[in-house]
Amino acid sequence: MSGRTTGVSRVAVTGASGLIGAALGAALRADGCEVRRLVRGTPGADDEVAWDPAAGRLDPAGLEGLDAVVHLAGEGIADGRWTAARRERILRSRVDGTALLARTLAALRRPPRALLSGSAVGYYGDRGDEVLDETAPSGAGFLAEVCRAWEGAAEPARAAGIRVVHLRTGVVLSGRGGALPRMAAPFRRFLGGPIGSGRQWVSWIALDDEVGAIRHLLEAEQVAGPVNLTAPRPVPNAELARALGRALGRPAVFRTPAAALRLLFGEMAAVLLDSTRAVPRALERSGYVFRHPELEPFLASELG
């Protein structure tokens, strides 16, 4: 399924300059949709709407008449050590922005039919080999705490009758940016291999499927609540390392000890070491068909 939208013609996107937001905006425009970008600072184009989540400012006039909003904005999780100040920025950038957007949409004369709001598989925490669909409870740790508050901040929109979908996204893989080029870098230098034990599960999704799933969910009016945006077959980290090595024609024998990662990154090492085996049960039940369900052929086409 391409995810092509038909009944949705006017969509606002936050985080529109990021990897996912930029690809989504381009895909929606190719479908003939009008896309409005929420931007910080003074709008520089007719399709931009001003907002400042930290200051609690959002121009409601720019959101009138929309069919849907896709909310992807938030400070990067893996951009630096989690100092106390950085933890607060990660949390506030998600909770404050989502709450401001949800309150504003709820108060519109003509609110959109749907709000697709970002979240992450970090909601489940470090769960070993447990298979996690959308009915699984939240886990422990900072990322789980952030995701619970992030999803809860959208409640004003849901209470106003807007269909709210929480996009619990895994590791988005694309040769164009994000995590995959950083993963591939040590392999290109013949230094790649498993991280930690290599047994921790990685819930991944190709960028094409991330965008396709969001486009599909814009139309899937029967779907609300949490939806795992992950490929149907998550993989252990060691398998990811082997697949990267084969795609790049490099060995995958240099293991990075967990202790070294914790020394280097502190608590942020959880991003690499936690085990989350999420599956996209709600998405597949809604009729979405993945373009890239298997990791190895995807990496071969993306990096080979």
Alpha-helix residue ranges (DSSP H) falling in the chain: 19-30, 84-106, 142-152, 155-159, 179-188, 207-219, 237-248, 258-265, 270-273, 281-285, 295-303
Indicate whether 115 belongs to any domain. yes
Indicate whether 136 belongs to any domain. yes
pLDDT digit of tens for each residue in the chain (304 aa)? 344 545 889 999 999 999 999 999 999 999 999 999 999 888 888 899 999 998 999 989 999 999 999 999 998 888 888 999 999 999 999 999 999 999 999 999 999 999 999 999 999 999 999 999 999 999 999 999 999 999 999 999 999 999 999 999 999 999 999 999 999 999 999 999 999 999 999 999 999 999 999 999 999 999 999 999 999 999 999 999 999 999 999 999 999 999 999 998 898 999 999 999 999 999 999 999 999 999 999 999 999 7
Model-level pTM greater than 0.85?
Answer: yes
Q: Which CATH number does the domain housing residue 124 bear? A: 3.40.50.720
Indicate whether 5 belongs to any domain. no
Separation CA 154–CA 158 (nearest Å): 7
Q: What contacts 251, CB < 8 A, 6 or more positions away?
A: 190, 192, 193, 245
What b/e string do you get for 165-195 counting C-beta neighbours within 10 Å, with b at 16 or more? Answer: bbbbbbbbbbeeebbbeebbebbeeeebbbb
**Number of domains comprising the chain:** 1
What pLDDT was estimated at residue 275? 98
Indicate whether 1 belongs to any domain. no
* Short-list 37, 47, 42, 48, CA closest to 15: 37
Residue 215 · residue 223 · CB < 8 Å: no
Indicate whether 248 belongs to any domain. yes
Q: Which domain holds residue 247?
A: 10-303
